[in-house]
Structure formats: C-alpha cells, structure tokens
Structure 1
Amino acid sequence: MDTSRKADLKAIEQKLLWLACWTVHNANHLREKTDGMKVGGHQASCASMVSIMTALYFHILRPEDRVAVKPHASPVFHAMQYLAGNQTREKLEAFRAYGGAQSYPSRTKDIDDVDFSTGSVGLGVAITAFASMIQDYLKAKPFAADRPDGRMIALVGDAELDEGNVYEALQEGWKHDLRNTWWIIDYNRQSLDGVVREGLAGRIEAIFGAFGWDVVRIKYGALQRAAFTEPGGEALRDWIDTCPNALYSALSFQGGAAWRKRLLDDIGDQGAVTRLIESRSDDELQELMSNLGGHCLETLADTFAEQARHDRPVAFVAYTIKGWNTPLAGHKDNHAGLMTPAQMEAFRIQMGVREGHEWDPAEGLDLDAGTLSRLVAETPFFAAGRRHHQAAPVATPGPVLLDDRTLSTQAGFGKILDQLAKSDHPLADRILTTSPDVTVSTNLGPFVNRRGLFARDMLADTFRDQRIPSAQKWAFSPTGQHIELGIAEMNLFLLLGAAGLSHSLFGERLIPVGTLYDPFISRGLDALNYACYQDARFMVVATPSGVTLAPEGGAHQSVATPLIGMSQDGLAAFEPAWLDELSVLMDWSFDYLQRDGDSDPDERTWLRDETGGSVYLRLSTRSLEQPARREDDAFRQGVIDGAYWLREPGPNCELVIAYQGAVAPEAIEAAGRIGTDRRDIGVLAVTSADRLNAGWHAAMRMRKRGHRGARSHIERLLGGLPAHCTLITVLDGHPATLAWLGGVAGHRTAALGVEHFGQTGTVADLYHHYGIDTDAIVAAASEIAPGRPVRLVNPI
C-alpha cells in the first residue's frame, strides 16, 4: 500500500471512530430524554472494529460483495454510510430513537445500504454461508444472468462464536463445498460479562480447519513486526504471545507507563529488550502494544488482498483491543460502557474536532470535505451506489387441482408440487426446495425425483447405477432444484432466508419452499424470526402437525405452532383442511411471495397484502374424504382471506362451530347431530386464524383513526349472527388460536383445543382424550347453551 493511500485510509478510520463514538454519546448524554432510560450503544465494540471495516469497505470490497456487520458495530456502519451519502445526519442524531438509525443494522428499518440484518448474534454470521450457496445455485441455472461472484462476509465478535448455530452452519457448508465466504473474527478477547478463556484462538483454528476452511491469524501490526526485528524483539514477541488475555486488556486500559513497568519487570533484565522498551516514550509504547493486526490498516489490507486471490472459505482471526484508541480501551466493563462527558471532551480534543462541528464529515482531518467525499465516492464498493437489486415477478399457473377423493393435505402438497415439476411453466424452474433430512417424510420426494438435487458437480445415484430398487432417484447435479440439509432447523430457516432474499441480493427470483416437522418450528424459531425480519420471501410447509400425528407421541406432536403462526410478523399462516383449499393457497402464496407493492391496506380485509411476505402452511397426515370440488370465486377468496361458511347460518342461528384444519370431520359431524336440536346452526371453515385476527385488529385501528365504516372479513362473517348465538371453536392446536372469535361481536364462546404435551395412541383416542372429537363438541354445545337437550352418542 502506498503512503498516500495509507494516509487516506487512516483519515477515514479516524473519522469513523469519531462519528461512531459521537453518535452513541449524543444519544445518551445530549439528546433530550423523557423516560430517564439509558439509551445504550457500544462504543468499545465499535472501536475494535473500525480498522477492519475501513480496510474492507474502502480498500478490498466490490459492489457484488455482501457483508453481515457485527451487531454492536452498528454505529460504525451508520457512520460509514453517512460518509457515503446513504445515511442522514438527522437519523444519526436519532440513533436508537423512534425513526432514527437502528441499534443494529436492519434491511427493513434502516435507510442505508444494509446487506444482512443482524442483532440476534450468530445468525448474521451463518447466513453468509447460505447466501454463498444460493449464489452458486443461481450461477448454475440458465435463467440467471452471468454476474461476477461476490464474497459473502461476516464480521464476527469472538464471543459470538459461542452460538451453536455457527457450528451447525460450518458443517452444512462443508457438505456443500462452500466457497467465497469470509468470516472476520474481531478477536478482542472480551465478552459482555468478562474476558474470554485462554487459548480460544487455537480452538477456533482447529474447528475451522477441520471443516476445510483456511484460517489466517492477523495478530501483529506493522509497528510490532518492525519491533520484533530489533535486538530484543524476539523476547517481546514471546511475551506478547504468552501474555494472558485479561492482563493484556488491563494494561491496554492503564496505558504506556503500566506497559513499561510490567514489561521491565517481566523481561527487562535482558539488555537488548530493555533498550527496545526504554527507547520509546510512554505514548509510543502504548501505540506499539496497541498495534495489533486488527488495528493495522496496512496489515489488514495486505492480508485481505492476498486471500482475495482464491475462492476458498477463510476465517480471519484479527487480534484487536476492545475500545481501541478511546478511554475505554481494554477495561473489562467496557462492553456497554459509555464515555463520560469529561472523557468525551478529552476525546474530542484528541481527535481535533471543534465544538459545534461534531457532525461535519471532514472535521479534524487533513482532508477537506470535497476531497473526502470524492475519496469515498471513488471507492469501488460505493461507486455503484445502492446495491439492492430488483427482479421481475414470475406469473403463477393457477391452482393445481387434484381429483383424489380421500387424501391428506401433506400428501396433497406433494402431489401439487409434483404436477408443477412435470409442467414446463416458468414458475416451476424457480422453485427451490429444501428440508432438514425429512424430504421423503414431508412428501417432497416426487418433486425431487423429477427435478433432482443440487450440487455444483455431478454426483451419481449409486443405488440406481447398481440397479437396486428405490423410490428415490437422488442424483446430484448443477441442474437440481433441491438442497438437502442435515437435521438442523436453524440451517433450514437460514437457507430459506438467504434464498428468499435472492431477488434483492443477486437480482434473480427464486420461490423457496422448505419443509420440516411442525413441532420443530420451535427449534428453529430464532432463525425463522430473523428471516422474516429481513423480509425474506419463502414458503415453509410444516407437517405432520398436532396430536393427529397420534402414534408418534408428544415429542413429535405440536401444540403451540398455530400461535407462532399468528404472532410471527412477516409470515402469513394457514391451516387448510381440504385439498381444494390447499390448491388455492399454494397458488396465491407463490404470487404473494413475490409482491413488493405499497403498504396501503385492502379496504375489504384491511390486510396489507400488496406488500407481500412469507407463508407458513400447517398440514396434516390425516386422510380426509374430500367434498365436491369448489372452484367459484367466492370460495377461493374466502380461503385466502381466512374463512368461509361451509354451512351458512340462518337468521335465527343459535350456534356456530368454527374449526381449523384436520378436525373438520368432527366439526361437520357435530353440526349434523346438534342441528336436530338447534336452529339455523352454522359451520365456519377457518383456513387462517392469523389473517382473520390481523384483519380484525387492523380494522379496529382504522376505526380509531376515523374510518368508521372499516370492517374486517371476520366482522362481516360474524356480524349478522344474533346476539344470543354461541360459538364453539375447535382445532388440533392451542385453543387460544380461535378463542378470540368470541370478542369480535360479543358472542359467548367455548374454545376447544390441545393445551398439554401429547402421548401415543390412535387419532380417536387422542381426540377423545383432549376433547376435540365430535362428542366433545356436542357436549360443549350443551354446556355453553343449556336448556335444550343434546344427543350424546359416547358421552365423555
């Protein structure tokens, strides 16, 4: 690196450090507070990352590269984007306030050029590996434009490596021959509550090496390496290498005089090393001992450039000091610590920033504002402007309707996908399926047999080549459309998240479809939430579900997942009972995944469907006898909106049974039995408690804002019922999923469902045990509206 370039990078490094620290200081000490709460921020974590981010963004990266920034380095990221013109002073001044720059980089909440949201530690690290896999997947597809490969880069806190999902991702990357991935570890050896264990760097190297990564230590800066060549330098190097983490941090906080005393006490009786130490002032000694590799722009730039010559995955262990070049440097309590006003004042003077000019981009630098702006604008990474791509939507073929008279929704899902796989419709080419080792048992097998498994290189199906009969024709090739994962639900949702961002990251549209067993949504819930927070678009098909998976017992039966579907933002949850409902929902979902319209609500439902989102289908293994096929527009719209009348109530209706999912036969049979004793009974088929509930709350909000005529879909469905009418709700899931229906128009309600872990048995046994069978529904009708006899065939 030439002297001029190094000086430019040093100026940017200084400015990023100042702006990051000032942004946090302004939020905590200067901005008016009304609640007395600490705003927070991470000045020390920013300081340890500023050199790494300067060398990366302003020297190495290209527009096609994508970066997941360590959450606690968010102020550095926002400061960098501010210099690039992608962030505003107003939002920096409002950091961690309403409408301001976010606490952690966010694709959906921030205005700057965020590649991956971060915040839940570990997830931003791992998703880069899956983004690299998706980049390779697209590169092999004929519909994708030829683009240069980008590197998928994660800036990782060393304590972040405690997260288990990081290692799950490492193993999956090894299976799929991962490439073009860099993880740059901020090895400051401090965590939230203390100092990390000795020898962690060696463990990191061993683990990454075992999975085929190159591991590069960036331990010594140029000043240190030069000192090591002086007489006595080897002794200094040996002392640094054996110095405990806690001691190095403590001496960094205490400064040059403390370094001098400790070094002289430990190794100063050797003449050469004594002269090396004594030849430097306290300030120079502090600078030397702080010149770790992760703070040396020259070392960082040269190391990154060397590794950029190949596409193997690389883990960089960059030694840093938490709080580098600030008054917080090295202190064990600095993670959430803040510079006091007095410390910030001294820091301002140290940085050459005049009072009142704290936000000026070039303040305190030897560069003028125009030169700095030009320097940033000419940096390759920023020269292309914002790097979020767009991709045209792919039309859907319309519902794929099935003729089966008896079938489960899980099997129907597989047959619908198989029909699409057989077609030459363009949408079929964009479908990417994936599953954590349950491909066959979730009925993805037929699609995979037709479309194949993906790998960058051909891998034959040995069983087929050896003429051993098998239902699975599992050959791997670049044309394949299924990515098979190991048993790790976190990896499933991270892959769905990466694939669901392909239109924005890589400019190519994919329709990701992932399957898993319904109860194990909970096991991957953090990654699911993370994918939705980024506005990734995918379909997750969870099956089998509920206690209906009777012989499997409580370990494989799900209870709470309908409530997860209702509460998860960015995810439209459905639980169809019938095949024609499933056909309509899958076709609608393929379109919904691709929408990117405005957020104005549809005044019919008050749902913001034009913005699009992801979809969760909760399916069942229970085969049901199917009703006559329904293809009218009203039926299809009701299925999409969340409910329709299977049996419309009369004007004097006394009872409505509202069901969702596989308990449909019990609800219908109960209605028939109760109907001989109650007038005008209604049966409401609920396909999405989630959309009904969301629309109801949205309509109530709109009425508060002056839209007095706002009515949701469920309000229109229930609005004509007499006040004395009672509701019975039932599903194979938590009863709270539908219990709220009674609050829509004030009807008395009995909510039936499952509240406890399941056990083994037949479907009839378990439905009876948990009170969701026909007799339970009939009994509930008698209890909630006494005074009229009700026939019980098998009283509980």
Structure 2
Amino acid sequence: MTTGKMGRVEAIEALTRKSLWLASWMVHHANHIRPNVDGVKVGGHQASSASMAALLATLYFGILKPQDRVAVKPHAAPVFHAIQYLMGRQTRQKLIDFRAFGGAQSYPSRTKDTDDVDFSTGSVGLGVAFSAFASMVQDYVRAKDWARKDSLEGRMIALAGDAELDEGNIYECLLEGWKHGLRNCWWIIDYNRQSLDGVVREGLYDRIEAIFTAFGWTVVTLKYGALQRAAFAEPGGDRLKAWIDACPNALYSALMFRGGGAWRERLNDEIGDQGDVSALLARRSDDDLAALMANLGGHCVASLLEQFEAAGSDRPTVFIAYTVKGWGTPLAGHKDNHAGQMTSAQIAQLQDEHRIRTGHEWDLFEGLDQPEQLQAFLDTVPFNTMASRRLTSPAVPTIGPQFVGTGPTSTQAAFGKILDAIARTDSELARRIVTTSPDVTVSTNLGAWVNRRNLFAPQEMADLFQREAIPSTQKWRFGPDGQHMELGITEMNLFLMLGAAGLSHSLFGERLLPIGTLYDPFIARGLDALNYACYQDARFLLVATPSGVSLAGEGGAHQSISSPLIGMAQDGLASFEPAFADELAIIIDWAFDYIQRSGDARPDLADWPRDLTGGSVYLRLSTRSIDQVPRDVNCLLTNSVIGGAYWLKAPTPECEVVIAYQGVLASEAIAAAARLGGDRRSVAILAVTSADRLNAGWQAAQRSRLHGDKALSHIEKLLSDIPHRAGMVTAIDAHPATLGWLGSVLGHRTIALGVEHFGQTGTVHDLYRHFEIDAQAIATACRTITSKT
C-alpha cells in the first residue's frame, strides 16, 4: 500500500479511477440489478462516461473555480454525478436510483437534478453553444454601471463529444461569437473518434482545427499523454509517434479493444526493425504496452493540468482532447460500445481491477489507498465549496401598463410604442431590459427602443451614417451602455441568447429582463433551442410578429399556422395573442413580473401553480391595424385579460350563439356579430387573449376536482353565463384546434374556424375569404349552428 504524502496529480488520478468505477457501476446497477418492473430498457453510457473521466476529474478536482460554469457532455452524466457524489453534492440514493423516478437524471438537468448542474444538456450541441452565449451575457452584465463589482469573472466551459460537432447550431454559434468578441469560453472536445453508429471519418481533426482557427479561437491539441511523450524521447520513439499519427481511427479503436498482444503484433509487423523500435516495445509487457497506447492526452491528468493552467481567457479556446471511448473498461475501443454495456463478467473484471469488495460498490474510497489524504485533498479543492453556486438578484419593480392611445393600430406597432414609452423612463425596469433579435430589429418594431437605448458592444462604436451626415431613422450607436444585442439571421442563436440572459440572475447574480423578437412563423426554426431554454427555467419575453395569413402579401413561407399550438404545448411558456393595444399593455406589464417569480420551488407536477412560480412569456402579434375599443381599464378587465378571456359583448339569458376569437380576428368577429344583428340579445362575443392560460386553468381545475376539490376555472365561470342550448363559433388566424376545445368545457356545440393549410399571397380580405375566417364566414357558421338548436 502506498504511503507518504499524496501529490496533486496522484490524487486526481485516484479520483478519476473512482469516478470511472462509480459511473460504470451506476449504469450496471440501473440495468442489471435494480428491478425493472416494466421491461423497458433503462440505458446509460458507460463508454462515453469512461472517455471523459479524466477530463471531468481534472476540471472539477484541479481547475475549476466556483464562478466557472460548465455544460457537461450529455452522455457523460454518470461520471458527472459520480464526481458530485465525491464532493458531497450528490447522495448515494440518487446514484442508486440513476434513471429511476426521483434519481439522478439521465442527462444533467438544472431543474430536475439536485446536484450542481450549471447548464442542462441532452439535446446534443445546444449545451455547447449555450456556454458561448452565457459568456456574452456575462460580458454584457459586467459592462453595466449598475452591476455588482465584487463578483468574480468565470469561464464558461462546455465538454462536447466529437460527434456533437455534426450539429449545425454549433457553427451558427461560432459565427455569432466572432461577431461579439467572444472570450472567457472553453470548449473541450472529447475526441474519441466514435459516434453513436460507428467510427468518425478520417481527417475530422484537420477540419475542426481549421474551422475554429478561422473564427479566432485558440486551438490546443491534447494528443499525447506523459507516458507517450516519454516513449517518444527514447531511441525509436520518433517512429512510434509517426505510426500513431498515421494510424486510421478505426484501426486504433480496434487495437484498443483487442489489447496489448494485438498492439505488439501490429507494431512489430509495421515498424519493428530488430533495433531501436523493437527494443522500445520489448522493454514493455503487454499490459504496459496497452497502457502506453491508451495514454492519450485526454486521459493524462498531468498533461491536462498543464494545458488547462496555461490557457488564457481573452480569446475563446478549444481543447481537442484525444481519448478512447470506453477507456479503462473492457469496452474500450469497440465500435458498438456507445449504447453497449458491460456484461456481468466484464463488470466483475472491472470490479476486481478496482479492488471493490462485494457490498461496498458505492463506498466513497473503496479500493483506493490513503482515503484520509484523498478526503483532505477534496476538502481543499477550490470548486468544492458547500456554498450555493445558484446566485440571486432582487426582483425589479414594474412601472404599470404603458397605454398608447385609442386610434387604429396593430399590436406590433403598439408593442414598439409601449417599449419606447418604457425606454423614456428613468426606471430600474428600463435599465434591466435587454433586447435581442435575429436581424429583424426594425421590422419587429424594436427600432425606437434601440434608438433610445443603443446597441451593446464592449467598446464604443460610432454610427458612421450619422458621422457622414446621412439621414437615417436608425441611430445605431454601439457601446458598453447599449441594451440591444443584435444577432444574425438564426433563430437557434436567438433562443440560446434569451436562455442565457434569462438565467443571468442565477449565473451572475444580476437580473436581466430579456426581450427577443422574431417572425412568428420562424419560431419552428429554433424550436429545439426554445424548448431547451424553457427546460432550464430561463426567463424571458418572446415577441413573435407578424403572424398568420394576416401577413397577406408575404405568402405562405412567412405566414404562421401552428405557432399558437406551440405556445399552448410548450412547458414553461405562457402564451398570449392580444387583439387590442390596451390588452397588450396589460400583458407586458404582467409579464415583467411573471418572468421574475421564483421558479426554485416549482414542483414537477402537471398542475404546478404557474402563477406562483412564473415562467417565460410568448406574445403573438400582428401587423394588421384594427380599430381600438374605447374603454376604461379596471381591475376586472385586467384580471380577465391575464386570465385568458373576457366578454367583449356579454351574453344574456336569450343568448343563442357565442363568437369566440383570439387575436386580430377581433374585427371580423365584431363585424360578424353586427351582420347577425349586433343590437340583438342573441349574440355574445368572447375575447380570448390566451388560449394557453384558459386551457391550463381548465385542466388544473379538472384535476383538482378529481381529488375532491370544488375548483372552477376562469373559462368555466365565463361559459356558465350562457345557456347550454347556445352554440359556439371559434375563429383564429391560426390552426382551429387552438380554440376548438372550448366547446368541450361545458358541452356547447361548436364550429371551429381557422387556417389548416399553407397560406399564399393576396390581400387580407382575399385570404380571410379563402380560408373562411372573414366576417361573412363567421356569420354563416353562427347561422348554421343556431339552426340546429
């Protein structure tokens, strides 16, 4: 047994071995020991965890500071949870329950794991790009005069598999990072040269290096470990190095799997000369030779420490770490090992190699020498602080709705005026807003805000058009005080930026109120990143405009149909589609409060109390101007707008039909009611501001009643005012399913009008008539449904 003082490298190597064992055992236990009551595959990634064991251990036990933030490769979750367990941030029971209900998650999750996850990962590539946007947001926050000055600057780090580089969003992110002067960002690529389905193509390294170099990144290659470098210095070592450099990926992986004897046979056949090289090989046993060839840079703690400590922060840095998939396990190198798992015999072999006694598989230091010294080392690890790394920031007070007049207007135009009114104020709310848009700033009505609040850049940049005295409505001054982050035309980057800014209070201790604008039909282009941002519980206001076939002249490619259904289905996102400017003013004021409500206590239940825990908000707006309703805004109207609906024309006991609309079809609904005889007592008009809020409230009330409560939802209360014999016609410039469910609430016969097919060019009236959502079609539907009474 080793005695004496344990060095830093030796301690990290021991903890690497322990992390590797715990990760392997965690997956084995979940799949082969824990009862599987439903027979469905549990899964896990022993090989992908093994290739990152040394990389993760070196970072967490040797390099990271508490202010650093890390996105861990999704398939390395088991080794991440093992490291958290060794530092006391994860419980044994969570490891035992890995991939079971309430246990450690399959992929690291900010919201569902109880250990110290900085960035959720799982949809590959997104966590990598997210780290870059987090770095940009950190620079934004630190440039502000209101930001705390005692916080330390952290590195935003992502550990990625080489196959993740197939994801296009990574390259969109690289371009955006170059534009914004990205710094303080490390990406560490687990270059094990294997993907889910096989071995990666030859020459990938050269492409990776060239791409990152082109975008201004520092490229650090971690190819050879200390054992290999020492061997290269021996006589004949240059020929061994040349052979390694020329060896195809598939052959290297195959020889890793076959072991030391196969290495010796191949090397003797190809470079053995009965001289220096043969002597170099002969001095090593088969086991020593296998260890030498496995000693790539990504597995060598001494080499990793050296390169990580030498890296700077002023430029983004990518570390290309050569590794072996399945390193240190019987699965090492096999092309099928991605989802493969060790057999009982193989796990027993690994258990024997790690000196793990039966019944002690979960013990912290089982099989390791000098546990007291290891614990003492862990106690001094800079990252191993028991203080919470989830920071907090006080909520920013709202300033009340900003009403913008009663003349004809569109909700998109009203949004610009509301934001401009906020920009004019000297409020903390105005200072904390940060806007961003994928090259559609002007066309989504952010221009006035940007003119007053400027664009962000680390250094001052003058508007050359102003300097040259060229007239322009846009005063595009860049500077550290700017509050708009301009992006290129990529919705993925928009949602990643919103996600990073929407976590600023937790990551950097300073609250931002992010607002992102984009064209409504192109939400789908970034939907994976939007879902990812919501899954992290990031908080932001998403303004999508223009919407629907109301954008008549642009044609089907720019007209949205299904986006309201996305708003209803997306967890963590409250969706609204107001028709009138006063409704929009109410919703925006409420949204600034809603996105700041604490999400820390959010239970993972279908009926979680949304209004207590908050979330992000999505507004679907239109470019079509409609006449506004002159009225006083009172508490009842305000609460109803936020609740999701109110009576624009209240029902009477004689009511025969209800016209329920959402959004810009308000004008058509009002006109239809007039055609039916608007002064009669038989027609009611229900103004729906949020099908999402109405549906969520209805679903929650039904679940409550299943448990014996007497809850009534907002929509149930509204519809209880109309006779059961009355019919209902719903209308929306979107898919009719958005509102079609309203008839199910209390059993009213319903006709749902909407758009189910791609749009086309024309006038608004042409398209409304074509899709039968105009006033005449609504009136006809009303007559049809009342004739069946």
Shorter-chain TM band: over 0.9
In the alignment, is residue 732 of structure 1 matched against residue 733 of structure 2? yes
Q: CA deviation at 1:346?
A: 1.1
Task: Tell me what 1:586 maps to.
Answer: 588
Q: Which residue of 1 aligns with 2:442?
A: 440
User: Residues 363-402 of structure 1, C-alpha deviation per residue, up to 9 Å, x if partnerless?
Assistant: 111132x543332232101125330101110000000011
Q: Deviations over 1:614-639 (max 9, x none)?
A: 00000000111111133110000000
The correspondence for 2:465, drawn from 449, 463, 466, is: 463
Q: Name the structure 2 match of 1:355.
A: 358
Provide the residue aligned with 1:282 in structure 2.
286
Which of residues 115, 119, 124 in structure 2 aligns to 1:116? 119
The aligned residue for residue 504 of structure 2 is 502
The answer as to 2:134 corresponding to 1:131 is yes
1:152 is matched with 156
Deviation at 1:90, TM superposition (A): 1.1
For 1:184-223, what aligned pairs fall within 5 Å after superposition?
184-223=188-227
> 1:71/1:606 Cα in 2 relative to 1: closer, same or farther (>3 Å)?
closer
CA contact (8 A) 2:651 2:721 kept: no
Q: Secondary structure at the match of 1:624?
A: coil
Q: 2:370 aligns with which of 367, 372, 375?
A: 367
Count, aligned residues: 781
Could you tell me how far 1:403 is from its partner in structure 2? 1.2
Change in Cα spacing, 1:438 to 1:89, as seen in structure 2 (3 Å) is same
1:555 to partner: Cα distance: 0.6
Partner of 2:666: 664
Distance 2:124 2:370 in 1: 37
CA distance in 2, matches of 1:461, 1:332: 55
Residues 3/269 of structure 1: CA separation in 2 closer, same or farther (3 Å cut): farther
RMSD: 1.4
Report the CA distance between 1:511 and its aligned residue.
0.2
Partner of 1:791: none
1:606·1:712 contact (CA, 8 Å) conserved in 2? no
Matching residue of 2:528: 526
Question: Which among 16, 23, 35 is matched to residue 13 of structure 1?
Answer: 16
Partner in structure 1 of residue 271 of structure 2: 267
Question: In the aligned structure 1, how far is the partner of 2:642 from the partner of 2:608?
Answer: 13
- Give the secondary structure class of the aligned counterpart of 1:435: strand
Compare 534-543 and 606-615 and name the one that shifted more: 606-615
- 2:496–2:529 Cα contact (<8 Å) kept: yes
| 1:217 match: secondary structure | strand
Percent of pairs with identical residues: 65
CA positional deviation for 1:519? 0.3
Q: Distance in 1 between matches of 2:245 and 2:274?
A: 18
Aligned partner letter, 1:18: W
Per the alignment, in what secondary structure is the counterpart of residue 7 of structure 2?
helix
Structure 1 residue 404, shift from structure 2 partner = 4.0
Give the whole-Å Cα distance in 2 for the aligned partners of 1:253 and 1:103: 26
* 1:685 alignment partner, SS class: strand
Gaps of 5+ in 2: none
Query: Which structure 2 residues correspond to residues 621-660 of structure 1 after superposition, within 5 A?
Result: 621-660=623-662
Deviation at 1:679, TM superposition (A): 4.5
TM-fit CA distance, 1:321: 0.1
Quote how far apart the aligned CAs of 1:165 are. 0.2
- 1:500-550 per-position Cα deviation (integer Å, ceiling 9, x unaligned): 000000010000000000000000000000000000000010000000000
1:511 aligns with 2:513: yes
Alignment of 1:226-237 (within 5 A): 226-237=230-241
Q: Does 1:336 align with 2:339?
A: yes
Structure-2 residue corresponding to 1:40: 43
Deviation at 1:278, TM superposition (A): 1.2
Where in structure 2 are the equivalents of 1:693-772 lying within 5 Å?
Answer: 693-707=695-709, 709-772=710-773
Distance 1:699 1:81 in 2: 40
User: What secondary structure sits across from 2:633 in the alignment?
Assistant: coil
Q: How far does residue 607 in structure 1 lie from its aligned partner after superposition?
A: 4.8
Is 2:783 the partner of 1:779?
no
Change (3 A) 1:640 1:598: farther
Q: Quick one: distance in 1 between partners of 2:174 and 2:356?
A: 44
Amino acid at match of 1:590: F
**Aligned match of 1:242:** 246
The correspondence for 2:101, drawn from 98, 101, 105, is 98
**8 Å contact from structure 1 (residues 718, 745) kept in 2:** yes
| Inter-CA distance 154–228: structure 2 relative to 1 (3 Å threshold) | same
- SS at the partner of 2:384? helix
Alignment gaps of 5+ in structure 1:
789-796
Give the secondary-structure state (helix, strand or coil) at the position aligned to 2:110: coil
Counterpart contact for 1:735–1:755, Cα < 8 Å: yes
Tell me the distance in 1 between the aligned counterparts of 2:299 and 2:585. Answer: 57
Displacement, 1:11? 1.1
Other structure's SS at 1:407 match? coil
- Residue matched to 1:346: 349
Q: Hey, what's the Cα distance between the residues in 2 that align with 1:198 and 1:150?
A: 35
* Worse-matched range after superposition: 84-93 or 168-177: 84-93
**1:254 aligned onto 2:258:** yes
The 2-side partners of 1:16 and 1:301 are apart by 18
Partner of 2:199, secondary structure, is coil
| Counterpart-to-counterpart distance in 1, 2:379 and 2:673 | 70
* In 1, Cα distance between equivalents of 2:377 and 2:593: 43
| Cα distance in 2, alignment partners of residues 193 and 270 from structure 1 | 40
3-state SS of the aligned residue for 2:383? helix
| 1:425 aligns to 2:427 (yes or no) | yes
* 2:515/2:541 contact within 8 Å kept: yes
Mapped contact 2:6–2:373 kept (Cα < 8 A): no
- d(CA) in 2 for partners of 1:19 and 1:785? 68
Note the alpha carbon deviations across 1:708-727, whole angstroms, 9 max, x for none.
x1111111111232221111
In structure 2, the residue matched to 1:382 is: 384
Secondary structure in 1 matching 2:553: helix
The yes-or-no answer on 1:612 pairing with 2:614 is: yes
What are the residue-to-residue correspondences of 1:12-91 with 2, within 5 Å?
12-91=15-94
The superposition leaves residues 297-336 of structure 1 with CA deviations (integer Å, 9 ceiling, x where unpaired) of: 000000000004x421001000000000100000000000
- Counterparts of 1:143 and 1:63, CA distance in 2: 23
CA contact (8 A) 2:396 2:428 kept: yes
Structure 2 counterpart of 1:484, from 476, 483, 486: 486
Contact 1:580 1:630 in 2 (8 A): no
* 3-state SS of 1:621 partner: coil
| Partner SS, residue 381 of structure 1 | coil
| Contact preservation (8 Å) 2:406, 2:629 | no
Report SS of the residue matched to 1:385: coil
Q: CA deviation at 1:252?
A: 0.3
Residue equivalent to 1:793: none
C-alpha distance in structure 1 between counterparts of 2:137 and 2:729, whole Å: 46
Cα displacement (A) at 1:245: 0.1
CA contact (8 A) 1:55 1:301 kept: yes
> 2:60 is aligned with what amino acid?
Y
Q: State how far apart, in whole Å, the 2-side matches of 1:160 and 1:530 are.
A: 16
